[in-house]
């Protein structure tokens, strides 16, 4: 009996780090790991507010990250007046917190004197870096809550070097999954207007050739641990030179993440992952040489569009 108790205690201790990790959202884990990029410094208060909203409204987010620009959104549509009233005190508390921050410019709005119909604040916080501009907007209305945080280096184009080292590492990670037994695959091509496909963008818009092609793989019998591993691997490259990372939910049902990098042959490589049930969807596409290319949001759907 004593031996069994010791074994049970050992298993519990071994599982504790995983339990702690699962208690956090994926984005909260990342936010505590990487606040300082090669050029940008993310505002810790903004990240805390984003994490609070991300945990309060799960799978309602979008994050785009480049070395000189980061955008974070959380958008939630209330199911009715009762739900709006339930969350209004929390959002008002966060708005008051933002309103107390030192700022260059601030705009606040309350729709009526009693404050019953929502609040909004738009703020340009002061930063320690002269070249960096931050912006935040948080609003709550009877129909929806909307948060947007943006940090960028002004008047600086994103460095777009050839990062074959990153491309090789991404392919190596991908091969670990697509070479498993039972994997199905299909050729895929995205070709349409950017207004319909809006997920990852690369190089200059003036070089826009809105198409890319490659292969979509479906890996069966996977778990959240598989997706979390890929998520952490890809987000580990966020805010580094010449790499674009994007992650978001699809209509509150599942999450997806993708990375874009320019290869030695000057063709943009895009790799993404999404977990739908126990099926892990993986995608690898390339754009034309020296061209603009992207993955659409919701690429794992039969008809991907910008939701």
pLDDT at 256: 92
Pairing of strands 103-110, 119-125: antiparallel
Domain boundaries, the chain: 26-153, 164-286
Is residue 17 scored above 80 in pLDDT? Answer: no
**Which single residue is written with the structure tokens 């580990």?**
236
Exposure string of 198-229, with b = 16+ CB inside 10 Å and e = fewer, is bbbbbbeeeeeebbbebebbbbeebeeebbbe
Distance between CA atoms of residues 78 and 90, nearest Å: 14
Contact 152/39 with Cβ under 8 angstroms? no
pLDDT at 38: 64
Is residue 130 scored above 70 in pLDDT? Answer: no
Distance between CA atoms of residues 257 and 272, nearest Å: 6
Is residue 106 scored above 70 in pLDDT? Answer: no
Per residue in 213-243, pLDDT (tens digit) is 889 999 999 999 999 999 999 988 888 778 8
Torsion over CA of 184, 186, 279 and 243, rounded to 10 degrees?
A: 120
205: left (phi over 0), alpha (psi -120 to 50) or beta: alpha
Per residue in 239-280, pLDDT (tens digit) is 877 888 888 888 889 999 999 898 999 888 999 999 999 999
Distance between CA atoms of residues 271 and 286, nearest Å: 9
Give the pLDDT mean for 182-198.
Answer: 70
pLDDT at 77: 94
Per residue in 39-49, pLDDT (tens digit) is 778 888 899 99
Give the pLDDT mean for 95-104.
Answer: 83
In the three-class reduction of DSSP (H, G, I as helix; E, B as strand; rest coil), residue 77 is classed as strand
Give the residue with greater pLDDT, 180 vs 17: 180
Percent of the chain scored above 90 by pLDDT? Answer: 34
Exposure string of 173-189, with b = 16+ CB inside 10 Å and e = fewer, is bbeebbeeeeeeeeebe
pLDDT at 5: 39
Question: Would you say how long the chain is, in residues?
Answer: 307
Give the pLDDT mean for 8-25.
Answer: 39
Which pair of structure tokens corresponds to residue 231?
């998520």
Which pair of structure tokens corresponds to residue 244?
């674009």
Is residue 34 scored above 60 in pLDDT? Answer: no
Distances from the Cα of 196 to the Cα of 107, 146, 192, 200, 267, angstroms: 32, 21, 7, 12, 22
Give the residue with greater pLDDT, 97 vs 15: 97
Report the mean per-residue pLDDT for the chain: 78
Of 65, 45, 52, the closest CA to residue 25 belongs to 52
With the C-alpha atoms ordered 54, 55, 56, 57, is the resulting torsion angle positive or negative? positive
pLDDT at 186: 92
Confidence of residue 206 (pLDDT cuts 50, 70, 90): very low
Name every residue whose Cβ is closer than 8 Å to that of residue 155 and which is 6 or more positions away in sequence: 131
């Amino acid at each position: 009996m004593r031996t069994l108790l010791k074994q049970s205690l050992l298993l519990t201790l071994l599982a504790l780090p995983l339990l702690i990790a699962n208690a956090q959202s994926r984005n909260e884990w990342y936010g505590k790991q990487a606040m300082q990029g090669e050029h940008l410094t993310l505002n810790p208060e903004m990240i805390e507010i984003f994490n609070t909203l991300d945990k309060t409204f799960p799978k309602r987010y979008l994050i785009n990250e480049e070395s000189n620009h980061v955008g974070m959104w959380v958008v939630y549509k209330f199911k009715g007046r009762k739900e709006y009233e339930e969350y209004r005190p929390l959002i008002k508390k966060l708005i008051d917190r933002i309103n107390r921050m030192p700022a260059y410019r601030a705009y606040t709005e309350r729709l009526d004197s009693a404050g019953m119909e929502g609040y909004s604040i738009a703020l340009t916080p002061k930063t320690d870096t002269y070249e960096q501009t931050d912006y935040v907007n948080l609003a709550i209305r009877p129909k929806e809550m909307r948060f947007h945080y943006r940090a960028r280096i002004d008047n600086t184009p994103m460095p777009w070097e050839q990062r074959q080292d990153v491309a090789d590492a991404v392919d190596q990670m991908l091969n670990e999954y697509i070479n498993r037994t039972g994997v199905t695959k299909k050729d895929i091509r995205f070709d349409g207007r950017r207004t319909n496909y809006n997920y990852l963008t690369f190089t200059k818009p003036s070089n826009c050739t809105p198409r890319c092609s490659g292969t979509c793989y479906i890996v069966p019998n996977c778990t959240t641990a598989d997706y979390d591993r890929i998520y952490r691997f890809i987000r580990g490259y966020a805010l580094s030179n010449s790499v674009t990372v994007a992650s978001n939910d699809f209509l509150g049902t599942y999450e997806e993440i993708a990375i874009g990098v320019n290869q030695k042959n000057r063709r943009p490589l895009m790799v993404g992952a999404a977990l739908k049930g126990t099926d892990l969807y993986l995608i690898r596409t390339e754009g034309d040489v020296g061209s603009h290319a992207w993955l659409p949001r919701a690429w794992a759907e039969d008809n991907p569009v910008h939701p």
